Amino acid sequence: PLPFPTEEVKEYFSRFGSVQRCQLPFDRDTGFHKRYCWIKFSSSEDVQNVLQKDSHILEGSKLSLKQQIHRRRSQRKSPSE
């Protein structure tokens, strides 16, 4: 499990840009954080700053990053009568 709290993760990634949200899910059964985290940056430039760095190490743990692409939800229009 990840040994560091959400604030440490947020502080680390704030070096690369403005972090809007940082979620580090907690597993109630084990009492540990799950082995992943979601970080939302303010801009795509901030995301690129993070991805350009070869490796990220926090508290001695090497982090592997994956970019999640959000697709805009298509707006459904009601049929006009």
Model confidence pLDDT, tens digit, residues 17-32: 999 999 988 888 988 8
Phi-psi region of 46 (alpha: psi -120 to 50; beta: other; left: phi over 0): alpha
Range of the domain at 10: 6-63
The CATH number covering residue 45 comes to 3.30.70.330
User: Is 19 domain-assigned?
Assistant: yes
The per-residue pLDDT for 75 is 52
To which residue do tokens 């990053």 refer?
65
Q: Count of domains in the chain?
A: 1
Model confidence pLDDT, tens digit, residues 43-71: 999 999 999 999 999 888 899 999 987 76
User: Is 24 domain-assigned?
Assistant: yes
Helix (H, G, I), strand (E, B) or coil at 23: strand
User: Is 54 domain-assigned?
Assistant: yes
Q: CA-to-CA distance for 6 and 1, rounded, in angstroms? A: 13
pTM of the full predicted structure? Answer: 0.73
Q: What is the CA radius of gyration of the chain?
A: 17
Q: CA-to-CA distance for 57 and 12, rounded, in angstroms? A: 9
